[in-house]
């Protein structure tokens, strides 16, 4: 599938889809606390998505049973919300979700420390977030896609952390996952040339240890193989003639 270039009308719909999703994340962040189940987080997020007249795009995606992916500590992504999984003080909780507004998808992720977390966890979360910003410095028309990948990888490895390789960012639009794939680790090939009107979900998934991951028996939850903490930070962005526009930037 070719990489899609969005028209001005489509960009407006993407902006609104992403703006609504940012509000959902702000709301979930304000409600996240020790003692609640990961299922409750999913309920809070899905309710707000539906109240906005939107559809949670993760729900039933390839059979995923929930609207919000909630991944705790060594879980990297795709954690399934569960009534019996209670968030604890000191946990590192990644939330990943998206919605569909008038046919247009948005996708974002944030990682939060619950109460007081270890200094290593704080550092991992900060580096993962900054890795996104290091990457999008290169998300400009005329640059190559893998300039983004290389910048993310160089930044995280300078802290002794690792970018997960089995999962990547992606184009986004009328489908949740469009071309191109956007690796978070260094690439030998340069990748496609970026053009104005491309909308991309850039999402560093970073381990405090090694990059290797495995899947739990639920066939969804991705965990670090060495049990290290992981963090995830994602925005949907628009490539323009100048500075990239971050479409999902909320309060966090």
Give the footprint of Mg ion on this chain (CB under 5 A). 107, 201, 203
CB of 90 to Mg ion, least distance (A): 27
Q: How far apart are CA 60 and CA 58, in angstroms?
A: 6
For Mg ion, the closer of residues 6 and 117 by Cβ is 6
Alpha carbon distance 221, 76 (integer Å): 8
Cβ closer to Mg ion: 91 or 107?
107
Could you tell me the smallest distance in angstroms from the CB atom of residue 110 to Mg ion?
12
Q: If you write DSSP's letter for every residue of 170-195 in order, what string do you get?
A: EE-SSSSSEEEEE-SS--SS--PBP-
Q: Give the gyration radius of the chain's Cα atoms.
A: 17
43 phi and psi, to 5 degrees? -65, -45
Closer residue to Mg ion in complex, CB, 11/201: 201
Displacement of CA 66 from its chain's centroid (Å): 16
DSSP 22-42: HHHHHHHHHH--TT-BHHHHH
Could you give the strand order of the β-sheet that contains 205-207, starting from the edge strand earlier in sequence? 162-163, 205-207, 230-232
Q: Which is nearer to Mg ion, 156 or 172 (CB)?
A: 172
| Least distance between Mg ion and beta carbon 34 (Å) | 27
Our CA angle for 70, 159, 123, nearest 5°, is 45
CB 201, min distance to Mg ion, A: 4
Q: Which is nearer to Mg ion, 153 or 203 (CB)?
A: 203
Q: With respect to Mg ion, which residue has the nearer C-beta, 98 or 117? A: 98
Q: Give the nearest distance from C-beta 35 to Mg ion in angstroms.
A: 29
Q: Which two tokens stand for residue 19?
A: 């703006």
Give me the least distance between CB of 116 and Mg ion, in Å please.
29
């Amino acid at each position: 599938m070719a990489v899609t270039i969005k028209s001005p009308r489509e960009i407006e719909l993407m902006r609104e889809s992403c703006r609504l999703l940012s509000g959902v994340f702000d709301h979930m962040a304000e409600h996240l606390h020790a003692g609640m189940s990961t299922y409750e987080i999913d309920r809070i997020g899905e309710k707000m998505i539906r109240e906005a007249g939107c559809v949670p795009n993760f729900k039933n995606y390839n059979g995923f049973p929930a609207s919000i992916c909630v991944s705790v500590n060594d879980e990297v992504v795709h954690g399934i919300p569960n009534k019996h999984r209670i968030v604890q003080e000191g946990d590192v909780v990644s939330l990943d979700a998206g919605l569909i507004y008038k046919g247009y998808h948005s996708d974002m992720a944030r990682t939060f420390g619950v109460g007081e977390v270890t200094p290593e966890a704080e550092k991992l979360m900060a580096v993962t977030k900054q890795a996104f910003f290091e990457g999008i410095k290169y998300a400009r028309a005329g640059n190559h896609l893998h300039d983004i990948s290389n910048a993310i990888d160089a930044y995280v490895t300078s802290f002794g952390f690792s970018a997960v390789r089995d999962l990547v960012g992606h184009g986004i639009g009328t489908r949740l996952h469009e071309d191109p794939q956007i690796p978070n680790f260094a690439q030998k090939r340069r990748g496609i040339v970026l053009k104005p009107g491309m909308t991309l979900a850039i999402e560093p998934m970073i381990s405090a240890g090694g990059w290797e991951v495995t899947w739990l028996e639920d066939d969804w939850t991705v965990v670090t193989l060495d049990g290290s903490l992981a963090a995830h930070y994602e925005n949907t962005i628009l490539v323009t003639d100048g500075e990239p526009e971050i479409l999902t930037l909320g309060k966090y």
